[in-house]
Amino acid sequence: MLKKAPLRRASCAIILLLAIGGRAALAADQTCASPARFGPTTVGARPAPFTDARDYRAVFQQCHDAAGRARLATRRFVLGETKLLLTVDPATLETSVEAEACWTCADTTDAAQGDTRFIKAIDVAARASGVTPAKHPDYLRNAGLAHGAGEGAFITGDLCPSSRPLDRSFLAALTSPGGSTPVALSISGLWLAHHGEDFQWLREQARTGALAITWVNHSYHHPYAPGRPLAENFLLEPGVDMRAEVFDTERLLLANGETPSVFFRFPGLISNAAQMETLREDHLIALGADAWLVFSPPLRPGDIVLVHPNGNEPDGLRRFARLRASGALRGPFRPLAQAPQ
CB of 269 to Zn ion, least distance (A): 9
Site for Zn ion in 159-198 (CB under 5 A): 160
Residue 75 or 222: which CB sits closer to Zn ion?
Answer: 222
Distance of CA 277 to the CA centre of its chain: 18
Residue 84 or 289: which CB sits closer to Zn ion?
Answer: 289
Residue from 80, 182, 257, 267 that binds Zn ion (CB under 5 A)? 267
**Residues in Cβ contact with 128 at an 8 Å cutoff, skipping those fewer than 6 apart:** 143, 144, 145, 146, 286, 288
Report the alpha-carbon distance of residue 226 to residue 22 in Å, rounded: 40
158 sits near Zn ion (criterion: CB under 5 A): yes
Nearest to 97 by CA among 76, 124, 118: 76
CB of 94 to Zn ion, least distance (A): 24
CB of 128 to Zn ion, least distance (A): 19
Total binding residues toward Zn ion, as defined by CB under 5 A: 3
**Residues in Cβ contact with 239 at an 8 Å cutoff, skipping those fewer than 6 apart:** none
Q: Show the 3-state SS of 163-186.
A: CCCCCHHHHHHHCCCCCCEEEEEE
Interface stretch with Zn ion, choices 63-71, 75-83, 158-166, 227-235 (CB under 5 A) = 158-166
CB of 189 to Zn ion, least distance (A): 12
Report the alpha-carbon distance of residue 142 to residue 121 in Å, rounded: 16
Interface stretch with Zn ion, choices 6-14, 43-51, 153-161, 256-264 (CB under 5 A) = 153-161
CB of 107 to Zn ion, least distance (A): 35
Name the residue whose CB lies closest to Zn ion. 160
Nearest to 265 by CA among 328, 336, 176, 318: 336
Interface stretch with Zn ion, choices 27-35, 104-112, 126-134, 150-158 (CB under 5 A) = 150-158
Neighbours of 59 (CB within 10 A): 17
Interface stretch with Zn ion, choices 66-74, 267-275, 314-322, 333-341 (CB under 5 A) = 267-275
- Asked if 316 and 294 count as a contact pair (C-beta separation under 8 A), the reply is yes
245 sits near Zn ion (criterion: CB under 5 A): no
Residue 10 or 225: which CB sits closer to Zn ion?
Answer: 225
Binding site for Zn ion (CB under 5 A): 158, 160, 267
